[in-house]
Structure 1
């Protein structure tokens, strides 16, 4: 009987010590976090200006550059941006316009580039490039019923009559 009582006391004491140590760990962790300086970001205006300058110089300056970079003429590119914006398939985010999102997507598929290359060209992180590539791909896919015609199952007469 005495040994059972001692065992219970030791278990209760061990549990109390564990709870006390866990509480101390939480307090110490909170103190350490409060001492760390918060991450601060510089003004976004300069970075955004540099990104828009890249688009203006490399893509939107002329139809030739736009066609070389995106495989689209400027008029068609901006028309597609308008369609995606009107149908709410791509939306403006605080630091990324519909044009930038679509330009990153078209540049990637037009030249079969890796995300790392596109993110370096457009001054974005890999994660941002990847996220907006998937969103643009989904948006383009949503236009399939209106702009992509399924192939005809009939054989053209010119081919059928030629033996």
Structure 2
């Protein structure tokens, strides 16, 4: 006869106690049931995947949204840098408050010269600063490629503060 694992016994005792005393079932124990150590490995993997899937989907959606945002910023900055009026009038320094729906509490400072393009993102909130910082490489790559294709290549530097 096979004896139940100690963790399984504990869950059963908690449920019995909660049932007798009118309390709610232990939700952590219920979540643990989905990953029962006695289940076959394939079944445990399926259950774990079902629990993790919503998190992965949300993370993937957020990642896609931010990558698209960086492409949007790159396209608009490259468009500005390649404008004939901008190219004819020397060095530029611009400070823009970004749309609250895109990056709340964030200001973009752009410095453009004949050889260099420097962007500085100033974010009020640490989570926005971290979000931009994690995706700077996407923005840098997009900008460098767009500027090269538009025949206005510049040395690109990006700072997040």
TM normalised by structure 2 equals: 0.28
> Which structure is higher in RCO with an 8 Å CA cutoff and minimum separation 6?
2
TM normalised by structure 1 equals: 0.27
Structure with the greater alpha carbon radius of gyration: 1
- Greater share of strand residues, 1 or 2? 2
- Greater share of helix residues, 1 or 2? 1
